[in-house]
A and B are shown apart, each in its own frame.
Chain A
Amino acid sequence: MDTGELRQRYAGIRRRRILFLLSLVGILILLTGISVTLGSAGLSVGESYLAIIAGIFPGTFEVSDLAETIVWDYRLHRVVFAVLAGFGLAAAGTVMQGILRNPLASPFTLGIASAASCGAAIAIVLGAGFAGGEYLVVGNAFLFALLAACVIYGMSRYHGMSSETMILAGIALMYLFSAVTSLLQYFGTANQVQEVVFWMFGSMGRSSWLKVAIVGTVLAIAVPYLMLRAWDLNALAEGDEVAASLGIPVERSMAIFMLIASLVTAVVICFCGTIGFIGLVAPHITRMITGGDHRILLPASGLVGAVLLLGADSLARTVLAPTVIPVGIMTAFIGVPFFIYLFMRRGSSRW
């Protein structure tokens, strides 16, 4: 094989990856239309798309007020929130797995999700928190999630930054926060316990356009920054020492990447409760298909996460309609068998 042939084959691989990325975008658009149609109002897929387009570009199409109200006020923010949440959780998981070089790293195994639950439980049972009123639960969940991330980072830093320390510290924290949550449930009233449990299931039912805007803003800052530093993520995935010898300020970069991943996770799960599975599995599935270059892995993984979460939420709304199953349960039901199937087929030699 000569130089030209090697470069040609690399170009071919890159073309296939971009095609994969585009097809994910296509699936997501399709799924959005289907998901908006689901429900008791009997809108057709065509009507739903028209209502979406008419809302974005007023005057382009004639849509009934009913269709527009149902789509824009009731359904679309839930769909968009699911897309953003799935993207955010998967992107955060990708960054954590990359820089910690550990297939177990995810917002769940690092204790961030259970810290958020604990914060929410404190708000629900004790009524204590950092923010008042409507944002008591959300504020607590958010701050506890960040607190957990800071504790893990501090501990591992004190011990010299090995990825195993970080995961171990995270799992230890997970047990601690779970214990606190259980204790609060033990002393809480039946209503409070139910509210805590329901919060922990994870659900898209609490979405709103304001929440979409907040999560969207965080992602709009975090994702381009991560993409810009995709090469640094690639180098860190090869090991701290290799990254350092390639000119990367390792400790500072690790701290920034961990902070961003934690922030994205926290802002998502404080609004929708703990959805642990996406952040662990979407990066794995994507890595099997695209390989480890974060320039493509990061956006592709985010899109896979978005497709998984939106798909799971759509199913959750239909299988037992009119009862809506919490999406956190649904993601595990459809994702885990698929994930195990992939690993059985491909072998787990690489992650």
Chain B
Amino acid sequence: MVRLRAENLRFSYNDKLVLRDVSFSLESGEVLGLVGPNGSGKTTLIKCLSQILKPEGSVFLEEYDLKKMKRQEIAKKIAYVPQYSSKGSSTVFETILMGRRPYLTWSVSQEDEERVAETMTLLGIEEFAFRQVSELSGGERQRVMIARALVQETGVILLDEPTSSLDLHHQMGVMSLVMRLAEERGLSVIVSIHDLNLAARYCHRLLVLREGSVMGCGSPVNLLTSEMVQEVYGIEALVKTEAGIPYIVPVKPVE
């Protein structure tokens, strides 16, 4: 089932065109990896999809046009985890509770608290529930931000480079969690990611961007070829396959 459909998204900062007619669709239960070099428009695309930026073109969510929805309604459908999280003075528990904002009245209901507590247990972060977010390590903080997106109870989650500041262990931890959530709960996830090997391992499909244009969209096996890598990243690379998953061996930059 198609959950999210983007049609001819265009966006420019001042006069610089950053997204050029981007179209794609996202199924439920699917992890879509957004890959491409720096400045290719990944972050902008994610912000356009969550309507933080207002692009030309349309985003349809289960056939509803997002342009016609109120912020509060969108917040119940699409959650967003930014690349850089704030280091606020709140505890982990309260930071995650913020994800309930679209549903909250002034006081916090028992249900809200239970959702937060369950989600913390699910992600294994309950032992630092009452520490300050600013005291956490990068990997811990990333899980807190994902937990906040989860208690928002949306069908779609957008993650902007969730692995960029993590070590290998935590990178795999976060990505396998994302994949598990998609497959077990039918969540649709879009995740921008730099590491092609990690993307190939944990994403069902990849969308390749370069200079704001879609260069290709499909399964990692079909999409990742040495021609594609050379065209998009300007490097010579070998693409091998192990256990059905492609991986990249970079050779040298193309002059």
Tell whether, in the assembled complex, residue B130 and residue A3 are in contact, meaning their CB atoms are under 8 Å apart: no
User: Among the listed B78, B86, B117, which residue makes an inter-chain contact with A239, where contact means beta carbons less than 8 Å apart?
Assistant: B86
* B:134-155 near A, CB below 8 Å: 134-135, 152
The answer to whether B114 touches A3 (Cβ under 8 A) is yes
A244–B79 alpha-carbon span in the complex (Å):
10
With both chains docked as a complex, state the minimum distance between the C-beta of B120 and any C-beta of chain A, in angstroms.
7
* B82 in the interface (beta carbon within 8 A): yes
Main secondary structure of the interface of A (DSSP, over half): helix
State A117–B85 Cα separation when bound (angstroms). 38
Report if A39 contacts B (CB, 8 A). no
Using known A-B contacts A10-B113, A237-B86, determine if residue A1 contacts B127 with beta carbons closer than 8 Å: yes
Asked whether, in the complex, the Cβ of B101 is within 8 Å of the Cβ of A247, the reply is yes
> Shortest distance in angstroms between A124's beta carbon and chain B's nearest beta carbon?
41
Q: Are B134 and A349 in contact (CB under 8 A)?
A: yes
Q: In chain A between 206 and 252, which residues have their CB closer than 8 angstroms to a CB of chain B?
A: 228, 230-231, 234-235, 237-239, 241-242, 244-249
Those of B70-99 within 8 Å (CB) of chain A = 70-76, 78-80, 82, 85-91, 93-95, 98-99
Given the interface pairs A228-B106, A245-B52, the reply to whether A291 lies near B89 with Cβ below 8 Å is yes
Cross-chain contact B75 with A10 (CB below 8 angstroms): no
Interfacial chain A residues near B165, Cβ < 8 Å: none
Contacting pair A245 B78 (CB below 8 A): yes
A292 to B132, CA, bound (A): 10
Query: What CA separation (Å) do A2 and B120 show in the bound complex?
Result: 10
Please give, as numbers and ranges, the residues of chain A lying within 8 Å of B120 by CB-CB distance: 6
CB distance from B165 to the nearest CB of A (A): 16
The answer to the question of A345 belonging to the interface, with a C-beta cut-off of 8 Å to chain B, is no
User: If A239-B86, A350-B87 touch, does A246 touch B98 (CB 8 Å cutoff)?
Assistant: yes
Interchain Cβ contacts within 8 Å, total number: 112
CB-CB < 8 A to A349: which residues of B? 134-135
Within 8 A of B (CB), among A250-293: 287, 291-293
Cβ of B243 to closest chain A Cβ, rounded Å: 36
- B200-244 near A? 1/0 per residue, CB < 8 Å: 000000000000000000000000000000000000000000000
Known: A6-B120, A245-B75, A349-B135. A238 touches B102 (CB 8 A): no
**Contact assessment for A3 and B101 in the assembled complex, using a CB-CB cutoff below 8 Å:** no
Kindly identify which residue among A9, A246, A248, A292 contacts B88, using a CB–CB cutoff of 8 Å.
Answer: A292
Contacts of A291 in B (CB 8 A): 89-91, 94, 132
Q: In angstroms, how far is the closest chain B Cβ from the Cβ of A345?
A: 16
Minimum Cβ distance to chain A for residue B81 (Å): 9
Residues of B within 8 A of A6 (CB): 93, 113, 116-117, 120, 126, 129
Other-chain contact of B152, A231, A246, A248 (Cβ < 8 Å): A246
Shortest distance between the CB of A73 and any CB in chain B (Å)? 41
A4 CB contacts on chain B under 8 angstroms? 117
Contact A7 B47 (CB under 8 A): no
B118 at the A interface (CB under 8 A): yes
Total interface residues on B, CB under 8 Å, equals 47
- Complex CA gap A351/B73 in Å reads 32
Asked if A101 is an interface residue, CB under 8 A from chain B, the answer is yes
With a CB–CB cut-off of 8 A, which chain B residues contact A293? 90, 94
Question: With A and B bound together, what is the CA distance between A4 and B98 in angstroms?
Answer: 19
With a cutoff of 8 Å between Cβ atoms, the chain A residues found around residue B113 in the complex are 6-7, 10
**B12 contacts partner chain A, Cβ-Cβ < 8 Å:** no
CB of A295 within 8 Å of the partner chain: yes
**How far is it, in angstroms, between the C-alpha of A349 and the C-alpha of B152 when the chains are bound?**
28
CA distance A78 to B82 in the complex (A): 49
User: Which residue of chain B has its CB nearest to the CB of A249?
Assistant: B71
Size category, A interface: 20 to 34
Docked complex: A16-63 residues within 8 A CB-CB of B: none
CB <8 Å contact, B82 and A241: yes
Residues of B within 8 A of A7 (CB): 110, 113-114, 117
Does the CB pair A242–B89 fall under 8 Å? Answer: no
CB of A13 closer than 8 Å to a CB of B: yes
Rounded to whole angstroms, the CA-CA distance of A98 and B160 in the bound complex is 24
Mask, A309-321, CB within 8 Å of B = 1, is: 0000000000000
Chain A's nearest CB lies how many Å from the CB of B33? 20
The answer on a CB contact under 8 Å between A247 and B71 is yes
Give Cα A4 to B87, complex, Å.
27
B253 CB to nearest chain A CB (Å): 33
Q: Cβ of B104 < 8 Å from any Cβ of A?
A: yes
Contact call A13/B130, Cβ cutoff below 8 A: yes
**Cα A5 to Cα B82 with chains together (Å):** 30
Complex contact B95–A238 (CB within 8 A) = yes
Closest to A295 in B: B106
B50 within 8 A of A: yes
Contact B71 A3 (CB under 8 A): no
Q: B residues touching A (Cβ–Cβ < 8 Å)? A: 47, 50-52, 70-76, 78-80, 82, 85-91, 93-95, 98-99, 101-102, 104, 106, 110, 113-114, 116-118, 120-121, 126-127, 129-130, 132, 134-135, 152
The 6 closest A-B pairs by CB, nearest first: A247-B75, A245-B80, A3-B117, A247-B72, A292-B90, A292-B89
- 20 pairs from A and B in contact (CB 8 Å cutoff): A1-B127, A6-B116, A7-B110, A10-B129, A234-B101, A235-B101, A238-B86, A238-B88, A241-B80, A242-B80, A242-B82, A244-B51, A246-B99, A246-B102, A247-B75, A247-B101, A248-B101, A287-B89, A349-B135, A351-B89
What residues of chain A have their CB less than 8 Å away from a CB belonging to chain B? 1-4, 6-7, 9-10, 13, 101, 228, 230-231, 234-235, 237-239, 241-242, 244-249, 287, 291-293, 295, 349-351
